[in-house]
Amino acid sequence: MYLLPIIPLCVIFCVGTTLSTPVPEYEKFLENPRYLNYDELTNLFRKLETENTGLVKLHTIGRSVKNRELWALEINSNVNNRTLLTPMFKYVANMHGDEAIGRQLMVYLAEYLIYNYGKVERVTRLMNTTDIFLMPSMNPDGFENSEEGQCESKDRYVGRENENHVDLNRDFPDQFEPQRAGTLLSGRQPETIALMTWIISRPFVLSGNLHGGAVVASYPFDDTSAHRTCCVESRSPDHDLFKKLALTYAENHQLMKKGDACSNENFDKGITNGAYWYEVKGGMQDFNYIHSNCFEVTFELSCCKFPFAKELPQEWKNNKEALLSFMEAVHWGVKGLVRTEGGDAVLDGDVVVVGLGHNVTTSNRGEYWRMLLPGKYEMYAVAYGFLPSERVTVVVEEGKTTIQNFTLKHEPVEQGKQTKKADGWYWS
């Protein structure tokens, strides 16, 4: 029997065939790992903005006690003019200055997204469809007062707290302390005021708050009316959705999903209700949910608060998939436009999901985003001066975004006046 030589066989079967080779991802930032101080981080972010016009915009949302900028890097394929209905996502790290892993991961994530755009399909899709904001440090003063290699906070919580010795994650309005919640901005730290203003003024949809000292995903509520130190679950109206969001990060984290990464800790599937773990009064994640449209989950990333820099490449590997998967979750649920019959945007209207006691408010362009788990929902839109829209049944599918627009008719004067209450609108 005549056997074709090996080389001709390859010619016969390989000519005209394109072999897809995975594009190597840019991760040069892992070489010579180290933490960037405030000045180095500032210079890097300015460089990224200058060299990537149209993809990157550097924002300052305020200043710290010691007058350091609170930088937020915006990354999107159309950063100068957000495309209508593009959801806004944010990561905020280092609100406790001595919890440093999240801070450096935000630097890595920024470079990973920017330098892989147009080369890695997943990154390109994410940046084309999502307006991403990365804040590496909410507490730059605290970071500068902290020390690499310190796994626990220093005496008197130097570094953890801001320059005025205030724990920023206890400085937000609290739903169960109305006498304090009512003051809103009065008496709060400049970093807290900056974040509150940013959260309320921008239509963020989803957020991750990055901490250290444990390895777990913690979801709202952090506080409870019972005011117990632990072990009492405090459920939000979107409890099941928050659990799924927490699981999305934990299941994609190399250690978190096990639930026992740190000694004396055992979290089922790597997640916990915040108040069940321990009560936090005046926390940022509850503020996001109660005072804005934004859903926020807290991620504790490392047993050691400020590990040596040599650990950073492994921490990137531990968190990379989780960081990306959680960002992609911003597209869960329903989004759309609320318009008048004449086509004008309805500002500050509410979109109501019947049976869920948590509405979302339209943006200044009439947009809304309502994160939801797969299922069937009854929804409608309302706004002052308008009749409520017709109720519609909306189907949400796994991993997909449902588009549902609403049209509102102006309220006839003779029919009375609409009054807003917590769970929607009624006639008076």
CB of 315 closer than 8 Å to CB of 323: no
Range(s) of the chain covered by CATH 2.60.40.1120: 333-427
What are the tens digits of pLDDT across the range 19-63? 456 778 999 999 999 999 999 999 999 999 999 999 999 999 999
CB of 208 closer than 8 Å to CB of 319: no
Q: Is the pLDDT of residue 250 over 60?
A: yes
pLDDT of residue 421: 47
Residues 48-70: b if buried by 16+ CB within 10 A, e if exposed: bbeeeeebbbbeebbebbeebbb
Q: Mean pLDDT for the chain? A: 91
pLDDT of residue 180: 59
With cut-offs at 50, 70 and 90, classify the pLDDT of residue 317. very high
pTM of the predicted protein model: 0.91
Give the CA distances from residue 22 to residues 25, 28, 124, 323, in Å, rounded to whole numbers and listed in that order: 9, 17, 15, 21
With cut-offs at 50, 70 and 90, classify the pLDDT of residue 413. confident
- Altogether, the residues listed in the chain come to a count of 428
Q: Is the pLDDT of residue 11 over 60?
A: no
With cut-offs at 50, 70 and 90, classify the pLDDT of residue 230. confident
Topology of 29-331 in CATH?
Aminopeptidase (3.40.630)
Three-state secondary-structure class, residue 121: helix
pLDDT of residue 177: 76
% pLDDT > 70, the chain: 90
pLDDT of residue 157: 85
pLDDT of residue 21: 62
What are the tens digits of pLDDT across the range 106-162? 999 999 999 999 999 999 999 999 999 999 999 999 999 999 999 999 888 899 999
CB of 52 closer than 8 Å to CB of 74: no
pLDDT of residue 48: 99
pLDDT of residue 419: 54
pLDDT of residue 229: 75
Place of tokens 């920017």: 114
Q: Is the pLDDT of residue 414 over 70?
A: no
Topology of 333-427 in CATH?
Immunoglobulin-like (2.60.40)
With cut-offs at 50, 70 and 90, classify the pLDDT of residue 416. low
Nearest-Å Rg of the Cα atoms of the chain is 24
What gap in Å lies between CA 134 and CA 245, rounded to an integer?
19
Range(s) of the chain covered by CATH 3.40.630.10: 29-331
What are the tens digits of pLDDT across the range 381-405? 999 999 999 999 999 999 899 999 9
- The catalytic residue positions are 300
Q: Range with the lowest mean pLDDT among 72-81, 368-377, 409-418? A: 409-418
Place of tokens 């000045």: 39
Q: DSSP assignment of 293-339, as one string?
A: S-EEEEEEEESSSS--GGGHHHHHHHHHHHHHHHHHGGG-EEEEEEE
pLDDT of residue 423: 46
